[in-house]
Amino acid sequence: MRIYLPGTWPMLARLVKTGNFEPIGGTAFALTPRLRESYVSGDDEELEYAAMLEAARASLRLLGVELGLGEEGTPARRVVVAADVDDVTLRPDLDDGAVRISGPVPASAIAAVHVDNEEAEYAVRQAAGAVDAADLGDLDAEFLVGEAEDHELAWYAPSEIAFVVELG
């Protein structure tokens, strides 16, 4: 199953160093039956994109924590790792596309990495600080999150990940 793992720049750097991506709490997103039911229409490609966007929003939450802990050197860029894994458990207690995996994802299972460009950093930094309030219905915070989500994530092949991290 294709899954989308939310991450941050330091998590991407650890992937390059160790050869494994270690998702926080095993949380990932995928085209689940519940996600499919929540849309009136859309083909698999469109619905997988929706799952990737859920992972991108989760990446904002992770960034909010890192930046809140004083990790100011962390680039304010959303990171989503797309991977193909077999051992996936549905998480109906979370978002429509939420799933859980057990353990790290080896680099060999990674299909692509999606990362914000440098131009998105200001909007992403603002959104990372506002995403929790947006989740609770704050319209001003939702506007800030929307500003970040207006930036398309760039696509990178697995062979390019080390270069992306190095050039940061």
Residue-wise pLDDT for 78-93, tens only, equals 999 999 999 898 987 7
**Residue at 139 is within a domain:** no
**Residue at 14 is within a domain:** yes
CA separation for the pair 157, 51 (Å, rounded): 19
Contacts of 60 (CB under 8 A, 6+ apart): 78, 124, 127, 128, 131, 145, 148
**Residue at 74 is within a domain:** yes
**Residue at 129 is within a domain:** no
* Average pLDDT value for the chain: 91
**Residue at 144 is within a domain:** no
Residue tagged 């940061």 (tokens):
168
Q: Structurally, how many domains does the chain consist of?
A: 1
17 token code pair: 């160093």
Q: What is the mean pLDDT of residues 87-109?
A: 90
**Residue at 52 is within a domain:** yes
Q: Which domain holds residue 86?
A: 2-117+155-160
